[in-house]
Amino acid sequence: MVKFGIEFVPDRSPQKVVELATLAERGGFEYVWITDHFNNRNTYVVLTATALSTQKVKLGPGVTNPYLVSPVWTASAVASLDEISGGRAVLGIGAGDRTTLEILGIPRVKPLSAIEESVNMIKLLWQGEAVHLKGAVFTLSGPRLNYTPGHAIPIYVGAQGPKLLELAGRIADGVLVNASHPIDLELAIRQIMQGATCADRKIQQVDVAAYTCFSVDQDAHRAKEKAKEVVAFIIAGSPPEVLERHNAPGDLAQKISERLVAGDFPGAFSLVPHELVDVFSISGSPDDCIQRIRELISIGVTQIVVGSPIGPKKKEAIELISKEMILKLV
């Protein structure tokens, strides 16, 4: 049975994010993921406010990274969130956005090792262990939390590349896959399954979450036009092999990127072909979105994360998903 999560970017006041999160909870969403970027409101402040205003949803950063914030600090923050939410915390962790880290002067060193070491040390810290580690990325000399969660907090790894997907299949409770198209997700699931098999696990033990660009409206054209605003950034940042897989023009990413860097956002959005909106988003009318979601369920996706922009108007889109989609799919 598929689960629904929703992503909120805290680019507005915590109170407004909480309002949207409580609306999502009432509508049947099971997960609330709050993005973690230094230029927005602080993720854990927003998560705490959300925890205090909700009763059922699981919630956590979607996703944090081990370079900007120490995994030891993250272990403490998420354990605290779990305590204040009554056991509803989840952790989403990934390798971080290379461009953002470069702006901050932080090197993105050995991302696979960084994620594996982070997940292992966080699990040990949550078990009350003193962690001694001399790894490829981190060196620890015995830090320990003076409190521990009363249960195992699920850890999700945000992944897109094949090696990180395989690692996630080996060590994580779930994988947040940055993709919306069945072809991309089918390839990702193969890598996750390979990692799970190496660790003597079954793929059913891993929550495979499609972390999608999502936009829904009764007016399908309006929804897809809104999705272009996010799809433009996705195309600009996609690896060449992903773009080639979907027959994107060879110079499209560069052209879009140049306009984005120049601040010509309308110009960048206008370059996004209609067919690539369908590749890099789940968008359109409720029926359009239901059809795509059913395709994803059929290949093994177990959670749909409704990501930015959600729709032309967020509140209306959340209500539309709750009333016309979740009830039909859950």
Global pTM? 0.95
**For residue 25, what are the CA distances in angstroms to 177, 207, 319?**
22, 20, 11
Residue 208: half-sphere exposure toward Cβ, Cα within 13 Å = 31
One digit per residue, pLDDT tens: the chain, 330 residues?
Answer: 899 999 999 999 999 999 999 999 999 999 999 999 999 999 999 999 999 999 999 999 999 999 999 999 999 999 999 999 999 999 999 999 877 888 889 999 999 999 999 999 999 999 999 999 999 999 999 999 999 998 999 999 999 899 999 999 999 999 999 999 999 999 999 999 999 999 999 999 999 999 999 999 999 999 999 999 999 999 998 889 999 999 999 899 999 999 998 999 999 999 999 999 999 999 999 999 999 999 999 999 999 999 999 999 999 999 999 999 998 897
Q: What share of the chain is helix, strand, coil (3-state, %, to 5)?
A: 50, 15, 35
Domains of the chain: 174-308 (3.20.20.30)
Rounded CA gap, 222 and 172, in Å? Answer: 37
CA–CA gap between residue 30 and residue 154 (Å, rounded): 14
- Phi and psi dihedrals of 213, rounded to 5? -80, 125
Question: Do 185 and 238 touch, CB atoms closer than 8 A?
Answer: no
CB 17 within 8 A of CB 10: yes
CA–CA separation, 318 vs 20, rounded Å? 8
d(Cα 280, Cα 186) in Å, to the nearest integer? Answer: 14
